[in-house]
Amino acid sequence: MKFLDGQILDNSHIYSLRIHYEDTDIGGIVYHTKYLNFIERARSSLIRLLGFPAEKFLKLNQSIVVKNINISWYSPCSLGDCIFVKTNLIELKNASLCLQQVIFNEENNKKLASADVKLCFVNENMKVIKLPEKFSYVLKTNLPN
């Protein structure tokens, strides 16, 4: 089932998905907040692919939380479209990281939306903690910026 987790290609993580009925709204296009779900699936798939599935962190009472997202929508997509999320690492600090996640239409490579996503690790009390060293190392090795 590895194909479900995307792949690393030219220093980026690529995650593909098909637009389903549940993603669309009465306007005939994808409901805008679903793009944030898509990029979350891409992020979770990326760290799974790198050997750090989210459920492992949960067992250690740690989780990755989103602090800020700045997202722009450029062009719509709709039922049946194949799209992909291209994720790059743009900043890696001791206690936070920032990813750029751009969504493209698979058919014509048109850019649909683009987001900068700031994340950090928290413990069970929602206190920010240092990124696990091995995690940071694997991340910057696979997604050099």
Which residues are identified as catalytic?
A: 25
Can residue 16 be called a binding residue for a copy of itself (CB under 8 A)? yes
Can residue 24 be called a binding residue for a copy of itself (CB under 8 A)? yes
34 vs 142, beta carbon nearer a copy of itself: 34
Q: How far is it, in rounded angstroms, from Cα 106 to Cα 114?
A: 15
| Residues between 38 and 97 with contacts to a copy of itself, criterion CB under 8 A | 40-41, 44-45, 48, 53-55, 58, 63, 65-73, 75-76, 78-80, 82
Q: What tokens were used for 45?
A: 């798939």
The three-state secondary structure class of 22 is helix
Q: How far is it, in rounded angstroms, from Cα 15 to Cα 12?
A: 10
66 vs 95, beta carbon nearer a copy of itself: 66
State the DSSP code for 24.
B
Q: How far is it, in rounded angstroms, from Cα 100 to Cα 15?
A: 13
Positions that interact with a copy of itself (CB under 8 A): 1, 3-5, 16-18, 20-22, 24-29, 31-33, 36-37, 40-41, 44-45, 48, 53-55, 58, 63, 65-73, 75-76, 78-80, 82, 106, 126
